[in-house]
Amino acid sequence: MTVADSLPLDSDAAPPGVEEQLDRSDRAALRPPWRQPLALTGGLVILAWIVIAIFAPLLAPDPPNSQFAAPLLAPTHQFVFGTDQLGRDIFSRVLYGARLSLPLAALLVAVSLAIGSLLGAMAGFFGGIVDSVIMRIADLVFAFPGIILALAVAAALGPQLRNAVLAVIVVSWPSYARLARSLVLGARTSEYVTSARLFGSSGWRVLRVELGPNVAGPLLVLATLDVGNAVLLLSGLSFLGLGAQPPTAEWGAMVSAGAQNFNSWWVGLFPGLAILTVVLAFNFIGDALRDILDPRTARMLGK
């Protein structure tokens, strides 16, 4: 028997075991979030911080601004995270900081998502002058590093937490606009959009009913990942004195106090760890959502 006779008749057939591997990869990518270790870990961490933020007055041993202890006490059984330069309990301030950082980060991501998605969808669907104006504004924002532009906006508006949130929104919305535009451009020539237009649906109805649900997945993944970035940006602005002002318990401002008292390592370590856990948790959840909503990309990445 020749070598040619030993080959399978279907030259396109995959080698034995390859189809099973692909099926296993697809099933792994499509597993529900509660069966993915990283997603489960991220979800539990975020759930824990949400509980802490809600019940901080009950969980914190002391009010966040009470100055009744000696300054810069190292962690002990009484003050598990130590005290800061004013004698305030760092553990209580970290817990209260969750009530500020998490809701503000979620709020500014939601506002950035709404603004950017609407403008990007309009640019991709209507095209022409609308596309040119919106995308040129977005390109203008992208021309500057995000943190530098946020610093400039926050400094121009004044050192307040509200102005820091506005500055982060100004920096964040163009990424949603660009993604929404590319998704709408790829979907506006599809058959279901053409059918809707033939049945007399207006452009706004097509955007809302036909295109909206079909482009929401990638935008949701980006928003989930951006919550961690929002926490970082807000903390960075507060670290530089352009966000939360004393005596507000905010993680970035607490890390700034730790930088000013570098020998007392506990002052900046524990709020920094709080920021780290929140950012990693949202990244884990966003990565899992990406795998579920786009299993082909997950398979290409070897997941």
CA-to-CA distance for 164 and 281, rounded, in angstroms? Answer: 23
Short-list 61, 168, 41, CA closest to 104: 168
Which pLDDT score, from 0 to 100, does residue 27 have? 52
| pLDDT tens for the chain, residues 1 to 303 | 444 444 444 444 444 444 444 444 445 445 565 567 888 999 999 999 999 999 999 999 999 999 988 999 999 999 999 999 999 999 999 999 999 999 999 999 999 999 999 999 889 888 889 999 999 999 999 998 888 999 999 999 998 889 999 999 999 999 999 999 988 888 776 776 667 666 666 666 777 666 777 788 888 888 988 999 999 999 999 999 999 888 999 999 999 999 999 899 999 999 999 999 999 999 998 888 877 776 554 454 444
Task: Locate 124 and state its tokens.
Answer: 């991709």
Q: For residue 75, is the peptide bond before it cis, meaning its omega torsion is within 30 degrees of 0?
A: no
**Which helix (H) or strand (E) is 225 found in, with range?**
helix 212-239
CATH class of 31-300: mainly alpha
Is the separation of the CB atoms in 119 and 177 below 8 Å? yes
- CA dihedral 109→286→221→299, nearest 10 degrees, is 160
Residue 89 β-bridge partners: 83
Residue 83 β-bridge partners: 89
Which pLDDT score, from 0 to 100, does residue 79 have? 92
Short-list 11, 12, 29, 32, CA closest to 21: 29
CA-to-CA distance for 237 and 230, rounded, in angstroms? Answer: 11
Which amino acid is present at 225?
A: L
CA-to-CA distance for 19 and 40, rounded, in angstroms? Answer: 28
Which pLDDT score, from 0 to 100, does residue 200 have? 66
- Whole-structure pTM over 0.75, yes or no? yes
